Structure 1
Amino acid sequence: MVLVDIHCHILPGIDDGAKDWMTSMKLAREAVQNGVTHAVVTPHTLNGKYLNHKKDVIRLTENFQEMLDEAHLPLTVFPGMEVRINNKLLEAIANDDILFCDEEGKYMLLEFPSNDVPSFSSSIVYELLREEITPVIVHPERNTKIMQNPELLQGFLEQGCLVQITASSYTGIFGSKVEKFARQLIKAGQGCTFASDAHDLPNRQYQLSEAYDKLSHEFGEELAQTWKDNARDLINGEPVEMRWHPLKQGKFFGLF
């Protein structure tokens, strides 16, 4: 069975994920134990602290795959990035220094600051879509501004963005408020797949299988399988659709 993780921080020494190769291999074993067969390794870039370059990520990913093969670990890794929304993003794309979920550059993991959605975000998204790049907004359920103003996310959905929810948000690792909001987004169709967002940090372990089991129990096996298929379609550059509807504002009064 194929289980794809489109977002994890298990390359060594280039962001706040794995600190060295030993840690990378530990995280890889945890991924395999959790059922992951394919993973896009996605170090941060353009976030003000980490600036990673395409060629370096590709080189490290190739080295990592060689180590995985030598260790007979059944995990296939692909180079990617978690890209912070930034005024320098379009320039980086023009300079061929950004990695995507897929080889053809159709889907890009797009991150907002934890507590904000910058005012220029919609214009950057507009330019990305003009270039036929679909942003996949990562972990909006953990963004405090979106939690307080869910219509911000809906604006990006109207533009044509996709949404990835962190598996451990839905399983409750980040607390009940984040878990509740993740569930509300799922119920409204405002998500298309889970990802681990795994780091070598407390409470940032792999939870993909647990999240999909919970999704199957709460929303049905068909939706869980669709979300798994969507992750595979993203790395293959295949079409992914979200059938979503707006959230009612009153439902959020219980969050705070």
Structure 2
Amino acid sequence: MVLVDIHCHILPGIDDGARDWMTSMKLAREAVQNGVTHAIVTPHTLNGKYLNHKKDVIRLTENFQEMIDEAGLPLQVFPGMEVRINGKLPEAIDNDDILFCDEDGKYMLLEFPSNDVPTYSSNMVYELLQEGITPIIVHPERNTKIMDDPAILQGFLEQGCLVQITASSYTGIFGKKVEKFARQLIKAGQGCTFASDAHDLPKRQYQLSEAYDKLGREFGEKLVQAWKENAKNIINGDPVDMHWRPLKQRKFFGLF
């Protein structure tokens, strides 16, 4: 059975993921243990600390695949990026220095700062969509501004963005508050797939199998299969549908 991880940091020495090849191979084995058959390796770029270039990520990914094959692991890796929203993003796209989730450049992982959503984000998303690029907003369940005001995420859904939820958020690794918000987003259809977002860091282990098991228990196997199919569609550049609804408004006593 095919299982695609669209977001992980397991290339060595290129961001805060794996520090060396030994660590990369350890994470590759963990991916296989989680049932992953295909993984998009997605180092950070344009986030103020890491600026990675397309040619370097492709080269490292090819080297990584050779090591994986030599080890006999049933895993295929593909070059990608986790792109921080940034005023320099349009220039990087024009210079062909951004990697997407698919070969046709239809889907791009888009990251916001942990505690903010810049005011220009909606305009930049509009520009990306006009260029035929669908942003996949990564781990909004861990963004404190979106947690405080979920309507912000809804605005991006209305524009046509997709949403990826981190598996370990849903399994509770990041705490009860994040876990609860992840569940609320899932229940409202405001997510289309899980990803590991695996790093060689505390709380950043592979949790895909655990998350899908939990999803099946809480929401049924039909949704599990739909989310796994969505990940396959993303890597293939095929259409992904999200049937979402707004989160229920908070009720406050004393207000009418």
TM-score range, shorter chain: over 0.9
1:207-233 deviation digits (Å, cap 9, x = unpaired): 001101110110010001000000000
The whole-number CA distance in structure 1 between the counterparts of 2:249 and 2:175 is: 21
Counterpart in 1 of 2:215? 215
The whole-number CA distance in structure 2 between the counterparts of 1:245 and 1:25 is: 40
- 2:86 counterpart of 1:64: no
The whole-number CA distance in structure 2 between the counterparts of 1:35 and 1:41 is: 16
Gaps of 5+ in 2: none
Counterpart in 2 of 1:51? 51
Call closer, same or farther: CA 1:225–1:252 in 2, change over 3 Å.
Answer: farther
Q: Which amino acid aligns with 1:79?
A: P
Counterpart in 2 of 1:12? 12
The whole-number CA distance in structure 1 between the counterparts of 2:126 and 2:31 is: 35
Counterpart in 2 of 1:135? 135
Counterpart in 2 of 1:32? 32
The whole-number CA distance in structure 2 between the counterparts of 1:77 and 1:157 is: 29
Count, aligned residues: 253
Q: CA deviation at 1:249?
A: 2.4
Counterpart in 2 of 1:232? 232
1:134-173 equivalences under 5 Å are 134-173=134-173
Moved over 3 A (4+): none
Counterpart in 2 of 1:110? 110
The whole-number CA distance in structure 1 between the counterparts of 2:173 and 2:225 is: 23
Q: What SS does structure 1 have at the residue aligned with 2:30? A: helix
User: TM-score by structure 2 length?
Assistant: 0.98
The whole-number CA distance in structure 2 between the counterparts of 1:247 and 1:34 is: 31
The whole-number CA distance in structure 2 between the counterparts of 1:245 and 1:126 is: 21
**Segment of structure 1 superposing worse, 96-105 or 241-250:** 241-250
Q: What SS does structure 2 have at the residue aligned with 1:249? A: coil
The whole-number CA distance in structure 1 between the counterparts of 2:71 and 2:241 is: 37
The whole-number CA distance in structure 2 between the counterparts of 1:205 and 1:190 is: 24
Counterpart in 2 of 1:195? 195
Q: Which amino acid aligns with 1:130?
A: Q
What is the aligned-residue identity percentage? 86
The whole-number CA distance in structure 1 between the counterparts of 2:128 and 2:174 is: 31
1:8-51 deviation digits (Å, cap 9, x = unpaired): 00000010000000000000001101111100000000000000
User: TM-score by structure 1 length?
Assistant: 0.98
The whole-number CA distance in structure 2 between the counterparts of 1:241 and 1:116 is: 27
Q: CA deviation at 1:203?
A: 1.1
Gaps of 5+ in 1: none
The whole-number CA distance in structure 2 between the counterparts of 1:138 and 1:173 is: 17
The whole-number CA distance in structure 2 between the counterparts of 1:120 and 1:13 is: 31
Q: Which amino acid aligns with 2:236?
A: N
Q: CA deviation at 1:62?
A: 0.2
The whole-number CA distance in structure 2 between the counterparts of 1:236 and 1:69 is: 22
Q: CA deviation at 1:252?
A: 11
- Computed over aligned residues only, the root mean square deviation of the Cα atoms, in angstroms, reads 1.1
Q: CA deviation at 1:248?
A: 1.5
